[in-house]
Chain A
Amino acid sequence: MTLDQLLTDTKPALSQIYSTDLPELSQAKDWQSKYRVLMQLGRKLPAIPEKMKQPSLLVKGCESRAWLMHYYNQHQDQHFFVLDSEARIVKGLMAIMLCLVNGMSNTDLKKFNLAQAFDKLNLKPYLSQSRGSGLNAMMERIKSCCH
């Protein structure tokens, strides 16, 4: 497994999450169904193989461990990411985050406001209640990839 392959596998997973799972999530009637969707989301993202989980990829500030890989396509000015977490709910929430920012230009990523974006999708409660889950730490790490 290489970063290239992970990036290639992550891309279609994210677009599927955006088009299929996000609407399903917003229509879920009770918390049980919401969390079932969230956990499926995490499963759709490819896992980073253990061997590739270098300490430098670890995102601090999470109760559960999460890892982020980054690739910047200079030619097209696009940021691409691969992420993994050992906790399924966190990975699901991070997957949503990722499908909003993957492929963004440097300028757009710098400007990106996670709270606003989650609010628009009626997902804001997840953001506030999961402060300890490391979503904000992950967002900071993503933004630190900007130049």
Chain B
Amino acid sequence: MSHFDPVNFRGHFEFFQQNPDWVYLDNAATMHKPTAVLNAITRFYQRNNSNVHRGAHTLSQNATRAFEQARDDIAAFINAKDRQQIIFCSGATAALNQIAFGLMHTVLQPGDRILITALEHHANIVPWQLHCAGFGVTLDIVPLTADNKIDQQAFTRLLALQPKVVSFSHISNVLGHIQPIAQMIQQAKKAGAITVVDGAQGIVHDRIDVQLLDVDFYVWSGHKLYGPTGIGVLYGKTELLEQLKPIFGGGEMISEVQFSHSLFNKLPFRLEAGTPDISGAIGLAAAINWLQKFNTNEIKNYKTMLLKQFYNGLQAIPGLDILSSPVHNAGIVALNVQGEHPADVAELLNQQHVAVRGGQHCAMPFFSQLGLAGAVRFSFAPYNTEVEVATSLQALAQAVEILTA
């Protein structure tokens, strides 16, 4: 029996008190922030605001302490060996750009290959593309099976080409499918590749132990983990982080600057140019500390229950094409009303105050493979309720009725 109390959990989010007539099912785009996060940010600005690392004064030292405590909390959250392995950046997109840029200039050589999958969103495609052509590096794509899962046989086959880097998402942002990352990381490592996991959707679903996974890079955005926008985390193995060429140059990341050249600072600072998002890091740490008061498995069970209720309800609505599988699903359902454009379906849901995403979800290559204009995406969070699931099903049925009348 689950002890998770959804009413109590939802009570932590003022957003819902302010928007009582909305059903928010766009959680894969961004999540709402609990009061603990909002308070931590406000408190920082009210009491401790100063720039970090450089001030001779006590206030700056206090701000630095709070900022570095956030790094410690995040390192502990994912069981990183060392705090310097946590690099703050603006989000998963920035992290992937840093990794792609940093490896291209150091580790990767002309003629090398990189392997990604056909399920990736643009942030795990474009940063590689930006540099591949210029550096003579080839990008290979793992295709999908008929049920929109990563084709594991093809993955094994493409690993035989000995890619230097293998990069894939933990959980598909379009379909919600959970990838077998532990197994894929092991396979990629056996083939001698550096492994990069885009955890934008994964970090919120399950506890991550980066040492257990033995992953080389794991990245995510704070705002999809109950934290503020503008902050994200790039976790990496120390020896690899040291090899990354910094994508940004500026303050904090250098130890010595002359007009002829500069010497870089040590980790983590060499990859954190300029004033960091201090309040963002503190807000993200507050989110993580708050979240750990709840039991991950109970939250997962609750989300599974909502998902089951939603899938059961979908059976009663005629004319749907459901793209997501209910198995190994992190709480995202992508679907289409047959013959209708997802933008129309999303707009009719919007009229009924059900917030979903309709379109290509920054995954154009995925949808072009399927020959689809996109999909309507319902993404659930533990603060959603059974009543909301029922409401969204009714709204979808109403939309279908209007569209097919």
Tell me whether A and B are bound partners: yes
**How many chain B residues touch the partner (CB < 8 A)?**
16
Taking the closest CB of chain B, its distance from the CB of A88, in whole angstroms, is 5
- The interface bits of chain B over 340-361 (1 if a CB of A lies within 8 angstroms of the residue's CB, else 0) are 1101100110110000001100
The complex places the Cα of A133 from the Cα of B346 at a distance, in Å, of 11
Q: Which residues of A contact B358 (CB under 8 A)?
A: 63
A110, CB-defined interface residue at 8 Å: no
Q: Which of the four size classes fits the interface of chain A?
A: 10 to 19
* CB pair A87 B343 closer than 8 Å: yes
Main SS class of interface, A: helix
Most central of B350, B398, B402, B405 by chain A CB within 10 Å:
B402
Residue of B nearest to A35 (CB): B402
Asked if A129 is an interface residue, CB under 8 A from chain B, the answer is yes
Task: Contacts A35-B402, A63-B358, A63-B359 given; indicate if A89 touches B373 (C-beta within 8 A).
Answer: no
Residues in chain A near residue B7, CB distance under 8 A? none
Name the B residues within 8 Å of A87 (CB-CB).
341, 343-344
The residue that A133 contacts in the complex, of B343, B374, B402, with Cβ under 8 A, is: B343
- Point out residues on A near B: beta carbons under 8 Å: 31-32, 35-36, 39, 63-65, 86-90, 129-130, 133
Additional pairs, 6, CB under 8 Å, beyond known A89-B344, A89-B347: A63-B374, A64-B341, A64-B344, A86-B373, A88-B344, A133-B343
Quick one: which of A36, A39, A86, A89 has the most chain B CB within 10 A? Answer: A89
Cα A57 to Cα B348 in complex, Å, equals 27
Closest chain A residue to B346, Cβ basis: A63
Tell me if A36 and B402 are in contact (CB < 8 A): yes
By the criterion CB–CB under 8 Å, are B351 and A65 in contact? no
B76 on the A face (CB < 8 A): no
Q: Is the CB of B340 within 8 A of A88?
A: yes
Closest 9 CB pairs of A and B: A87-B341, A87-B343, A64-B343, A63-B359, A63-B343, A89-B344, A31-B351, A87-B344, A89-B347
Please judge, given known A-B contacts A32-B402, A64-B373, whether A86 and B341 are in contact too, CB under 8 Å. yes
Chain B residues, CB < 8 A from A88: 340-341, 344, 403
Please determine whether A133 and B351 come into contact, CB atoms closer than 8 angstroms. Answer: no
Asked if residues B347 and A133 are in contact (CB atoms below 8 Å), the reply is yes
Query: Which of chain A's residues have a CB closer than 8 A to the CB of B348?
Result: 35, 89
The listed residue with most A CB atoms (<10 A of its CB), out of B341, B343, B351, is B343
- Smallest beta-carbon distance A87→chain B, Å: 4
User: What residue of chain A has the Cβ atom nearest to residue B399's Cβ?
Assistant: A35
Q: Within B356-405, which residues are at the interface with A (CB < 8 Å)?
A: 358-359, 373-374, 398, 402-403, 405
10 A-B pairs within 8 Å (CB atoms) are namely A39-B402, A63-B358, A63-B359, A63-B374, A64-B341, A64-B359, A64-B373, A86-B373, A87-B341, A133-B343
Contact call A90/B351, Cβ cutoff below 8 A: no
Give Cα A39–Cα B343 distance, bound, in whole angstroms.
13
Residues of B near A65 (CB, < 8 A) are: 373
Query: Are B405 and A89 neighbours in the complex by a CB distance under 8 Å?
Result: no
| CB-CB contacts below 8 Å: B325-344 with A | 340-341, 343-344
Give bound CA distance, A86 to B360, whole Å.
14
> Inside 8 A of B351's CB, which chain A residues have their CB?
31, 35
